[in-house]
Amino acid sequence: MVLHFLIQGRVQGVGFRWYVQREAGELDLCGWVRNTEEGELEVVASGTVADLAELRASLRRGPRGSRVDRVIEHYLDESEAVGLKAFRIEGAW
C-alpha cells in the first residue's frame, strides 16, 4: 500500500522531517519526507496496512515543539511504490 500525506500546522523548523524519518525507518517503510514551499510537510510512504497506520498515528502526534492542525491523506497507485527505497529526507541541506 502507498500513501501520500500532507501535514499542516507548525511542522517546519521543529525537526519534523527527522522525526518522520526515524519513525518510518523503525517501521521499515520505503518513501520520503520533505517540506513544501507552502509551509507544510509532505510524506510518501509504502508498506503494510498496519505499519502505515502506525506512521499515521505518529504524524498526527508530531515531534515535541510541533503542532499538527490537519493531516490530509490520499491513497496512491501501487505503481507509485516503484523506485521507492529506504525512507529518506528529500531536500535536506
2-89 is classed CATH 3.30.70.100 = yes
For the chain, the structural domain boundaries read 2-89
- Is the pLDDT assigned to residue 53 strictly greater than 90? yes
> Long-range contacts for 87-90 (Cβ within 8 Å, ≥24 apart)?
87/20, 87/21, 87/24, 87/25, 87/29, 87/30, 87/31, 87/32, 87/33, 87/45, 88/21, 88/32, 88/33, 89/17, 89/18, 89/21, 89/32, 89/33, 89/34, 90/32, 90/33, 90/34
Q: Which of 17, 34, 60, 67 is flagged as catalytic?
A: 17
Q: Decide if 35 is catalytic.
A: yes
In this prediction, what percent of the chain has a pLDDT beyond 70?
98
Catalytic one of 10, 22, 34, 35:
35
Which of 10-19, 27-36, 80-89 is least confident?
80-89
Position with higher pLDDT, 80 vs 22: 22
- pLDDT of residue 92 exceeding 90: no
